[in-house]
Amino acid sequence: MYLNFQHKNSMNKIKTALLGLGNVNLGLLKILRDKRELLRSQYGVEFLITAVADSSGMAVSESGYRYEDLIALKSNKRKVRDLTGFLPDVPSDVLPLHANAELLIESSPVNLTDGNPGLSATKLALNKGWKVVLANKAPMVFAYDELHRLANEHHTRIAFSATVCGGLPVINVLRRDMAGASLRHFKGILNATTNHILKALETGGTMEEAIKEAQRVGAAEADSMHDVKGHDAANKLYIIMKSFTDFTGTIKDIETNGIQNITAEDLALARQRGNTIKLIASAIPQGNTWKLSVKPTEVKANSFLGQCEGWEMGVEFESDLYESISMKIIEEDPLATSAAVLRDMIEVTK
């Protein structure tokens, strides 16, 4: 164990605001509860939750809410409006104007109409010099450049590794471990819900049952059609391209088709050809730009992506310096996404 730093004399208490108290932030609270001592001893950090918001509005506490109390609140299907410190008539998108914090964890639902409440709250937080960690892709999809500019202007940081494949460290590997390389080709299965649906269809299940299962385990988007129609995967591809390449286009430049018309018969026929069907996101250089797509694609059943089954997500990067790097994760439980939020929290508050 090489990370056994002793920070007992220099504890950094970070006042933290949580936007959204669903699967991701609830998982985060459980990790913070269970790893309190490890965070103190190895990283010298403690996260004090001074503001929270859900669909009922926001609440604040100067001394901080106990992790256990917030977990109990949501586990009992109660709302933030039931908390001491609830601020009636204050919408969650202006949370940073009413909270005393230095870090925003943005895990509200994806809103592909205007990005809010996440986008507005993220901008306000950066304008106040707060650090921001995102699980929600929408702010990145609507305003990737603007949010980075704001972070620079206010000498603060924004991290978003949880937005792309949850726990799989796609963004971190690209930006940190492949620094200096140029992407030649990218292919990935970026959405576990649709990969689970395809597996279910192949093994005698129905799309409806598979979606229900994804909703039960907390893997599906609040609107599961974002998954099925390929929008979630397209959002992730967009964030990958903005993070690591010279891509200057918009989400509309990604040709997006979902798996809504794929049948068990299509999958069986593909198998007869030694193939399988996956929802593949891909980026191929085309002249001085990129050909970007998310679509159901027949791939060799024994290839790396062909063997990413069910709850797995996988990526393949080909670059000029590293030839080919492939990696995958099994992510049925959103806890790995909560953990990805935590790794970003540790990183931005170092």
Ligand X SMILES: NC(=O)c1ccc[n+]([C@@H]2O[C@H](COP(=O)([O-])OP(=O)(O)OC[C@H]3O[C@@H](n4cnc5c(N)ncnc54)[C@H](OP(=O)(O)O)[C@@H]3O)[C@@H](O)[C@H]2O)c1
Residue from 222, 268, 269, 321 binding ligand X (CB under 6 A): 222
**Structure tokens that stand for 169 in this block:** 């460290």
Interaction mask 65-94, ligand X, x per CB under 6 A: --------------x------------x--
CB 115, CB 143: distance < 8 Å: yes
Choosing from 32, 51, 162, 190, the residue that interacts with ligand X (CB under 6 A) is: 162
Place of tokens 């279910």: 200
Annotate 151-210 with DSSP letters as a single string.
HHHTT--EE-GGGTTTTS-HHHIIIIITTT--EEEEEEE--HHHHHHHHHHHTT--HHHH
Handedness of CA 263, 302, 186, 342 (dihedral sign): positive
Nearer to ligand X, 266 or 333 (CB): 333
Which structure tokens are listed for 289?
A: 């730009």
Does 344 sit near ligand X (CB under 6 A)? no
Footprint (CB under 6 A) of ligand X, residues 262-301: none
Binding to ligand X (CB under 6 A) within 7-66 occurs at 19-24, 53-56
Binding-site residue total for ligand X (CB under 6 A)?
A: 28
Q: Phi and psi (nearest 5°) for 269? A: -65, -40
Judged by beta carbon, residue 27 or residue 296, the one nearer ligand X is 27
Among the listed ranges 60-68, 149-157, 197-205, 217-225, the one in contact with ligand X (CB under 6 A) is 217-225
* Residue list 120-139, contact with ligand X (CB under 6 A): 135-137
Least distance CB 216 / ligand X (angstroms): 12
- Smaller CB separation from ligand X, 193 or 349: 193
- Taking the complex as a whole, the smallest distance from the CB of residue 313 to ligand X amounts, in Å, to 10
**Cα distance between residue 240 and residue 234, in whole Å:** 10
| Span from 40-48, 106-114, 303-311, 319-327 in contact with ligand X (CB under 6 A) | 106-114
d(CA 92, CA 75): 21
Is the preceding peptide bond at 96 cis, omega within 30 degrees of 0?
A: no
Spatial distance between the Cα atoms of 61 and 53, rounded to a whole number of angstroms: 12
Residues 6 or more apart whose CB falls under 8 angstroms from that of 167 comprise: 329, 331, 336, 337, 339, 340
> From the CB of 321, what's the least distance to ligand X, in Å?
29
Establish if 195 lies at the interface with ligand X (CB under 6 A): no
**Choices 108-116, 204-212, 239-247, 259-267 (CB under 6 A): range interacting with ligand X:** 108-116
For ligand X, which is the closer residue by CB, 59 or 267? 59
- Considering only 109, 205, 285, 310, the residue that binds ligand X (CB under 6 A) is 109
Nearest to 19 by CA among 162, 163, 117: 117
Q: Could you list the residues that contact ligand X (CB under 6 A)?
A: 19-24, 53-56, 79, 92, 107-110, 117, 135-137, 162, 166, 218-219, 221-222, 334, 337
